[in-house]
Amino acid sequence: MEIKRLSTLVLAGVLAAAVAAPAASASTGAPGSIVLTEQASRRIVVLPAKQRAWDAAAFSWTWAPGAANGLADLAASFSNPSEAKLAERDGRKYLLTTASGGFAAVVPYPAGDTAYWAADVAGRNNPHSIELLPDGNVAVAASTGGWLRVYTASQGPRSATFAEYPLVGAHGAVWDAGRGVLWALGTHELVALRVAGTAAAPVLQAAQVIPLPSEGGHDLQPVPGNADLLWVTTESRVYRFSKSTGRFSSRYPGAPAIDRPDVKSVTTDPGTGRVLTAAVQEEHICTWCTDTVRLALPHGDLTLRGAWIYKARWWAAN
């Protein structure tokens, strides 16, 4: 066991050195790319969805807060990166990212420079997900804090004003343009929130509260090509949720490879329909991480040796 631990630490160190170059590297990646929250090196990394690139740690883009992007004062809060998503607004692309140490930010992609908005959301509240809203504000879900907040990012890049909705074990946040609601996932329930008030003074109101079929809500993502469906993961299952019926289902294409315990992230490639999941890996030195992500429809695996992957997502805007 000690030999395995030492080996893993050495590999993690090699990986950290490989990405310890610029806070934002020069390439923008390509279709079929995957973004990782890589906790060994405290970086967001993007790779092509090809094992050859993963074997060589051939990252097409990396990012972390620091002096180069004006976020040196928040760098200490970027411990255990917990979320990475791509968003588009007004013709621009952004990395949406959080870290368990309290960090939350919206960063221009691929420049990776001056953040649209960034904050340390009250220290160890353990932010787990983030969403950019149409009015320019930013939703953040924090599990230890037990809340979903909407920060008034529209009012400035370091705005600290927020509206809060209490939600035990808050882990997921997804904006639903069709219904005009913000979906939030907690330990026990899935909630649809109306964002009322103004951009400068938002108000959160629960429009719908749906109990989860199993405990420990974790990941929440849209299903591209079907506005009625959301991916929902819990400690034990991976479901598709129908907004129109209010029902959760574990019967869907690819379920035998997708539906398993401790799935930390799930996304569908909007171009191919291929499903990507990251789940806890048995005996990994990081007890909530993996070095291998799973593909379904068709099946496949991608391994980045020595990595501490918490979430893996298709690098595509919802």
Per-residue model confidence as pLDDT tens digits over 47-84: 999 999 999 999 999 999 999 999 999 999 999 999 99
SS3 279: strand
Cβ 292 vs Cβ 277: under 8 Å: no
Residue 271: the pLDDT is 94
SS3 282: coil
| Residue type for position 43 | R
CA–CA separation, 250 vs 268, rounded Å? 16
Question: Is domain 65-211 classified as CATH 2.130.10.10?
Answer: yes
Pick from 290, 299, 226: which is nearest to 258 by CA? Answer: 299
Assigned token pair, 170: 């808050």
> pLDDT by residue (tens digit) across 259-296?
999 999 999 999 999 999 999 999 999 999 999 999 99
Q: Does residue 105 have a pLDDT over 70?
A: yes
Residue spans of the domains in the chain: they are 1-62, 65-211
Residue 172: the pLDDT is 98
> pLDDT by residue (tens digit) across 175-225?
999 999 999 999 999 999 999 999 999 999 999 999 999 999 999 999 999
Pick from 269, 311, 272: which is nearest to 130 by CA? Answer: 311
Return the number of other C-beta atoms located less than 10 Å from residue 22's C-beta. Answer: 14
> Confidence class of residue 124 from pLDDT cuts 50, 70 and 90?
confident
> Confidence class of residue 20 from pLDDT cuts 50, 70 and 90?
very low
> Confidence class of residue 10 from pLDDT cuts 50, 70 and 90?
very low
Residue 15: the pLDDT is 54
Residue 61: the pLDDT is 98
The C-alpha angle with vertex 189 and arms to 186 and 193, in degrees rounded to 5, equals 80
Q: Does residue 9 have a pLDDT over 60?
A: no
**Mean pLDDT of all residues belonging to the chain:** 92
CA–CA separation, 145 vs 229, rounded Å? 28
Minimum mean pLDDT range among 7-11, 168-172, 232-236: 7-11
Strands 292-296 and 300-303: antiparallel
Residue 122: the pLDDT is 80
Burial (0-12, 13-18, 19+ Cβ within 10 Å), 136: middle
CA–CA separation, 188 vs 56, rounded Å? 41
Put simply, whether the predicted model's pTM sits higher than 0.85 gets the answer: yes
Residue 1: the pLDDT is 30
CA–CA separation, 244 vs 227, rounded Å? 10
> Confidence class of residue 4 from pLDDT cuts 50, 70 and 90?
very low
How much is the average pLDDT of 233-241? 98
